[in-house]
Amino acid sequence: MTLFEKIIAREIPAQIVHEDGQCLAFRDISPQAPVHILVVPKKPVPRVAAAEGADEPLLGHLLVVAAEIAKKEGIAESGFRVVVNNGPHGGETVPHLHVHLLGGRPMHWPPG
């Protein structure tokens, strides 16, 4: 089981901000911005490159949930960033697809 599967199973505690039938969203334990929330599908897709056509509705759902959380967190109007890391060079540290929602401060380009 990945770290995220253990959080979904409630084997590891997390500060949950959203849950529905398809995903769980919780605050990152090492935030890179004042708001840093991970939106994680309950279905264990290892990374976006491993997603299949059947996963298309799930991937869209993750982005819609991220936008809804941004509104609830008060960062939708000022702006926010969504990030999906893929593979070691992309910064992936947990082999379970997830969306980072970052906001509450200006974001710079290009990212690290």
Strand order in the sheet with 99-103: 16-19, 23-27, 35-41, 99-103, 80-83
Which of 18, 98, 100, 108 is the catalytic position? 98
For residue 41 the two structure tokens come to 């599908």
H/E stretch holding 63: helix 56-72
CA dist list (Å): 19 to 38, 108, 112: 12, 30, 30
Judge whether 18 counts as a catalytic residue: no
Q: Rg (Cα) of the chain, in Å, rounded?
A: 13
Residues classed as catalytic: 98
